Copies of this chain bind each other. A is one copy, B any other.
Amino acid sequence: MRRMNAEILSIGDELLIGQVVNTNASWLGEQCSLLGIQVRRITTVGDDREELLAAFARAWEEQDVVIATGGLGPTHDDITREAICAFFDTELVLDTSVLRDIESLFADRKRAVTNVNRDQAMVPVGATVIHNEDGTAPGYHFEREGKHFFVTPGVPYEMHAMVEKYVLPRLRAAFRSPRGSLTLLTTGIPESTLSDALPGIDRLVEGTRIAFLPSPLGVRIRITAQGDDEHTVRDRLQQLRSFIEERSGEYLFGTGTQTLEEVVGTQLRDAGMTVAVAESCTGGLITDKLTNVPGSSQWFNHGIVAYSNESKIELLDVDPTIIRSHGAVSRETAEAMAKGIRRRAATDFGISTTGIAGPSGGSTEKPVGLVWIGISSDAGTLAHDFYFGPHRIRTKQRAAQAAMDMLRRRVCSLPPIPTVLTESS
C-alpha cells in the first residue's frame, strides 16, 4: 500500500511574528499521523498573495493532501479565499445554504447580519463547502485527480470541528489502512518512573510503537499498532494495554481524550454520590473543571473559594485555633476544610486545597509550591502534602489534578495517594 503524503499550510501574519503559537499545525499533524498519512512538511506563510500562491503550487505539486488553515475571516487582511480562487482559476458564487448558516448564527446571538459577514457566503465554484457550525467562514474542499485540498478558518475550535466532521472522514475513506492507536491516561507518576515501571515495552509486541507524552496533568501513553488486518491491530493494542495495566494500574484513569473530571464525574454519577469542594490556593479551578462536565449538577453541589482565613473560619467552620497553631497551609487546616465543606453541603465527599501558589509567601519550612490536599468521606478524613514547584498557574493546575485524583482513588478504593509518593518519602 502506497503511503499518502500531506502538507499543512498555516496562513497568517500573526504566526510569522510569533504572536500566536501554531497549535493548529501540531494538532493536524497528529490527526494525519493517526490516519497513517505522512505529513512531509508544515509551511507557514503570511497574508501575502504571492507567498500564498507559491505555497499552494508547491504543496499541490508535491503532496497527495493539502490542509490549509487561516485567512478566511471577514476583514481586509484575510486573503486566502481570493488566493485559492486564483490558484484553482475559479470565481465566487453565492451559496444560499452558507448564507442560511450565517443568518441563523446571528439570530441565535440576537445580532443583525452585517454585509461583511454576508459576503462570507460567497464560495469558490468547483469546491465542496465545508460547513462551519461555530463561525461565519465556511471551509472549502477541492478534489482533483485523486488529490485533496482542504481550506478551513484558523480559529482553533472552528477548525477542529470542521476537520473532525468533514476532513478526517473524507481522508479515512480515501486512504484506508489497517492501523490503530490507543492513548492511556495516567496521573500522579513522573515520566521516568513510569518508563522504568514498563521495562522493554517498546520491543514487547511486533508492529507497535509507544510514546510517552508528559504534561503538568500527567503522562499520556500513546500506542500505535499496524498489522495485516483489523483483528491483528486490535490484538496488538490489547497486549500492550494489558502489560501497562498490570504494572501501573492505579495511575491509569482513562483513555483517549477523556479528562480526569469526566472520569470521576461518571464514577460519582454511577454510584449516586455527590461532592463539594473547598478551595484556597486552587482558587476555583477544581469547581471550574468539575462543572465543565455536562450534567455535573447531578453530583456536584457547591464549592467555596475561601481565600482569606476569615472565610475559612466562617464558611467552612475551620476552628480558628487550628489556623493559629498550625497555619492556614497545614495538614490540620486541609482536613478541617474538607470536613467542613462536606458537613455544610451534606455531600458524600468533601475535598479541599490550601497551599502557597506564589510567587511570594513562601518560607524555608513552607516553600512556594507546597499544597496540602484534604479529602473527607464516611471512610474518614485525611490530607497529604505535595510539592508542585515555583510556577503559580502550574501549581494550581497540578494541585487541582491531584485533588481530583485523590477523589477518584477514594471512589475506586485505590491507595489514597500515588504509591510512588509513599515509596519516595
Q: How far is the CA of A346 from the CA of B102 in the complex (A)?
A: 46
**Segment at the interface with B among A23-31, A82-90, A138-146, A167-175:** A23-31
Q: Mark A1-45, 1 if CB is under 8 A from B, else 0.
A: 000000000100111111111110111111101000011111111
A294 interface contact, C-beta 8 A: yes
> Is B46 within 8 A of A210, CB to CB?
no
A96 interface contact, C-beta 8 A: no
> Is A315 within 8 A of B302, CB to CB?
yes
A321 interface contact, C-beta 8 A: no
Contact of A211 among B14, B39, B181, B308 (CB under 8 A): B14
A367 interface contact, C-beta 8 A: yes
**Segment at the interface with B among A190-198, A226-234, A242-250, A407-415:** A190-198
A183 interface contact, C-beta 8 A: yes
> Is B51 within 8 A of A40, CB to CB?
yes
**Segment at the interface with B among A69-77, A124-132, A265-273, A373-381:** A69-77
A345 cross-chain contacts in B, Cβ below 8 A: 311
A92 interface contact, C-beta 8 A: no
A225 interface contact, C-beta 8 A: no
Interface centre among A13, A47, A202, A215 (most CB of B within 10 A): A13
> Is B307 within 8 A of A301, CB to CB?
yes
A360 interface contact, C-beta 8 A: yes
> Is A387 within 8 A of B287, CB to CB?
no
Q: Mark A93-113, 1 if CB is under 8 A from B, else 0.
A: 000000000000000111110
A164 interface contact, C-beta 8 A: no
Contact of A26 among B18, B202, B283, B302 (CB under 8 A): B18
A214 interface contact, C-beta 8 A: yes
> Is A30 within 8 A of B18, CB to CB?
yes
A252 cross-chain contacts in B, Cβ below 8 A: none
A122 interface contact, C-beta 8 A: no
> Is A307 within 8 A of B284, CB to CB?
no
Q: How far is the CA of A295 from the CA of B392 in the complex (A)?
A: 11
A424 interface contact, C-beta 8 A: yes
A258 interface contact, C-beta 8 A: no
Contact of A425 among B110, B211, B287, B297 (CB under 8 A): B110
Within 8 A of B (CB), among A289-310: 290-292, 294-297, 300-308
A17 cross-chain contacts in B, Cβ below 8 A: 29-30, 33, 39, 181, 224
> Is B19 within 8 A of A183, CB to CB?
yes
A116 interface contact, C-beta 8 A: yes
A195 cross-chain contacts in B, Cβ below 8 A: 74-76, 116
Q: How far is the CA of A284 from the CA of B301 in the complex (A)?
A: 12
A-B contact pairs, 27 of them (CB 8 A): A10-B42, A13-B209, A15-B29, A16-B38, A16-B39, A17-B29, A17-B181, A17-B224, A19-B30, A19-B213, A20-B26, A40-B46, A41-B45, A47-B211, A75-B212, A77-B212, A108-B367, A109-B387, A110-B424, A114-B193, A282-B291, A284-B286, A284-B287, A284-B291, A284-B303, A302-B306, A315-B315
Closest 5 CB pairs of A and B: A283-B291, A18-B30, A284-B287, A284-B284, A18-B29
